[in-house]
Amino acid sequence: MIINEMDLSDAVIVKSSKLKSAVWNDFDKVRKGEIHVAICRHCKKRLSGSSASGTSHLRNHLIRCKRRASSNGVVAAPPGKKRVETPLELAIVDQTKHEHNASVVNSGLDQRRSRFDLARMIILHGYPLTMVEDVGFRVFLRNLQPLFEPVVFERVESDCMEIYAKEKHKIFEDLDKLPGKIGISVDVWNGGASDDSDEFLCLAAHYIDDTWELRKRVLNFFMVDPSHTDVMLAEVVITCLMEWDIDRKLFSMASNRTPPFGENVANKIRDRLSQNKFLYCNGQLFDVSCGVYVINQMAQESLQACFETVDKIRESIRCVKSSEFIQESFDERDLCIDDSARWDTTCTMLEIALEQKNVFSLMKQRDPDSCVSCPSDLEWERLETVVGFLRVFVEVTNTFTKSSNSCLTANIYFPEICDIHLRLIEWTKSPDGFISSLAVTMRKRFEEFWNRNHRVLAIATILDPRFKMKLVEYYYPLFYDSSASEFIEDITEYIKALYNEHSVGSLLASSDQALDWQENHHHHHHQHEDRLREFDKYINETTTSPGQDSKSDLEKYLEEPLFPRNSDFDILNWWKVHTAKYPILSMVARNVLAVPMSNVSPEEDPFESSRKRRISETWCSLRPSTVQALICAQDWIRSELESS
């Protein structure tokens, strides 16, 4: 019997809950006797509905069904002619049709949820927004889920902006309820592949939350107007901070002092916040620099000083690589060509060449006309010293960037920076004028960094219970000789001042809480408390016994023995456990340990010579407001995934 001629008046409808495939959202399944029939809800055509027939023929019908196509806004094929799907005809939908519709349509597919899942995927992985209009992607989606209504660029851009707005609100609430202060890092990005592209500033917040976890969140990403003066750019940054309502919550700001965010801009921001009494110690601890950046600069200065020798070795290695006969003369550790944009690879190339420098000499002696260009003995000797510099820089950079955490607590930096400081002092004493001159140049750059940051670095290491004052007392005599006591006293005074300011802030906060409590009571009780306020003050002043311990948190902390030094020590967990014992000093630790002494992100290569990040090619052509939404939302979504 032909299905279309069957009498289905007494057929039984099969419950939709038993049907798994999504195609049954467009078909009714009925059973008459042993025969199952699928009836199209759009054109009422009957097809086989038996499980043995599968659902492929039903999908094919939905694609060809004129009534369904017209209802969905898809152009149907003329009668008797197979429709050829052009890119535009794959899935053309009315974007406004479902804009204010309920999330779940009668098909059972949550269109809105699916749309936002797609947008979040694009943000998370940095995909181009235009991918939603690619023919291949649309074919994939149609075959995967025919009921999903394809979107266009404008729709997915709007969805991304909505995700950004919702995630921004969550970050705003997190910052609003923070128990401590915030460190800000400022990084300069290029807007494209070329160095003369538009420049962007990336502002990120670094803070320790109420669970004593160190967090980093990108807050703003905006294009710098080339016509802006330093004063105008400083105002733009301050406006961003005020929009997040964190201008009163700042502890520090880290930057590389590279244009367009130069020294004048940083100073104007600090001065503005200091005038408003928002900063500790009159802003003397506010302005810090990136440790990785200064190491990068010194490494490049080292290579530039001996670039002729480096070029000889690089060209000789190319010569060796081009000849199998010559290459056989070198031992098992293969020579390698460096990537000139990454100075750590140059260090590796030179290390290997130094191990086989005798082979270079022998090859030149055997064949003076060989393309192998052998450095002189003096050049080899100087190169070995320079490679020693570079090896130290590579190790310290790895310490600062190869962490399982996306950012490091500030106590990590002091020992490594002090080691470089000592080595620079030693290198300046070299009898070789070339080496001592290079060391003096590097030391000058280093001391600019040291003078700006040594107080914050020292205070951070004092707040490490494994070191306290001892590491400062060990290193400073090596740096300053007879003047060391003055510098140690300077650090002591700063940490005392910082502690006292936190102590005053703690008392004010307690007073505010008491006032809030009083305001919740009745008016007559208010008056009663007011009359006894002076009495409370008298009791506080007279009830402290002469023998009672009046030492501060800071004094108690410094007097206690050092915590044993081990590799898996977790300083944030230590302060979390000891918060009750040192309530005020733990506030200092929360703020100081969050200072961003490096603004290198996990996605960056810290050894790149340019040290300037670039917006991906997939996003750089978008509107600046869209770029900001994508960069920020990507950071927030990734951070949320890492936390979970």
Pairing of strands 46-48, 182-190: unpaired
Check: CB of residue 587 under 8 Å from CB of residue 489.
Answer: no
User: How confident is the model over 540-583, as pLDDT tens digits?
Assistant: 666 554 444 578 999 999 999 999 998 789 999 999 999 999 99
Q: Is the pLDDT of residue 95 over 50?
A: no
Whether residue 287 contacts residue 266, with contact meaning beta carbons closer than 8 Å, is answered with: yes
Helix (H, G, I), strand (E, B) or coil at 578: coil
Give the model's pLDDT for residue 608: 86
In which band, very low, low, confident or very high, does the pLDDT at 103 lie, cut at 50, 70 and 90?
very low
Q: What is the residue whose two structure tokens read 């099969």?
A: 14
Q: Is the pLDDT of residue 413 over 90?
A: yes
Whole-number pLDDT of residue 93: 37
pLDDT digits (tens, 9 = 90+) for 332-378: 457 788 998 899 999 999 999 998 888 777 776 776 666 667 888 99
What average pLDDT does the chain have? 85
59 vs 204, higher pLDDT? 204
Amino acid at 302: S
What are the respective helix, strand and coil percentages of the chain, to the nearest 5? 55, 10, 35
Question: What does the pLDDT look like over 266-324, one tens digit per residue?
Answer: 999 999 999 988 999 999 999 999 999 999 999 999 999 999 999 989 888 887 777 66
Place of tokens 């009830």: 543
Instruction: Answer yes or no: is pLDDT of 140 > 50.
Output: yes
Which value, in Å, is the radius of gyration of the alpha carbons in the chain?
A: 34
Position 382 scores a pLDDT of 96
Rounded CA separation 157/584 (Å): 47
Amino acid code (one letter) for 439: A
**pLDDT for the residue 7:** 75
What pLDDT is recorded for position 604? 81
Q: Residue 48's CB: how many other CB atoms inside 10 A?
A: 15
Q: Give the length of the chain.
A: 644
- Whether the pLDDT of residue 58 is over 50: the answer is yes
Task: Region of 48 please: left (phi>0), alpha (psi -120 to 50) or beta.
Answer: beta
- pLDDT value at residue 514: 40
- What per-residue confidence (pLDDT) applies to 90? 37
- How many angstroms separate the CA atoms of 410 and 269, rounded? 22
- Pick from 151, 130, 156, 153: which is nearest to 141 by CA? 151
User: 461 CB contacts (<8 Å, ≥6 apart)?
Assistant: 411, 414, 415, 467, 471, 472
Alpha carbon distances (Å) from 539 to 281, 332, 530, 551:
32, 82, 15, 20
Q: Helices marked H in 402-483 — which ranges?
A: 413-427, 433-462, 470-480
Residue 532 has pLDDT above 80, yes or no: no
Q: How many other C-beta atoms lie within 10 A of the C-beta of residue 643? A: 8
Other CB atoms within a 10 A radius of the CB of residue 482 amount to 7
- The whole-number average pLDDT for the span 609-619 is 83
255 or 515: which leads in pLDDT: 255
Query: Does the structure show a pLDDT above 80 at 83?
Result: no
Max mean pLDDT among 81-85, 174-178, 193-197, 605-609 falls in 174-178
Ordered DSSP codes for 316-357: HHHHHHT-HHHHTTS-SS------TTBHHHHHHHHHHHHHTH
Query: When comparing pLDDT for 117 and 334, which is higher?
Result: 117
Element (H, E) at 627: helix 624-643
Strand, helix or coil at 383?
helix
Rounded CA gap, 373 and 432, in Å?
Answer: 24
At 195 the pLDDT is: 67
DSSP secondary structure, 607-622, as one string: TBSS--EE--TTTTTS
Binning pLDDT at 50, 70 and 90, where does residue 513 land? very low
What is the average per-residue pLDDT within 437-456?
A: 97
Q: 363 - beta bridge partners? A: none
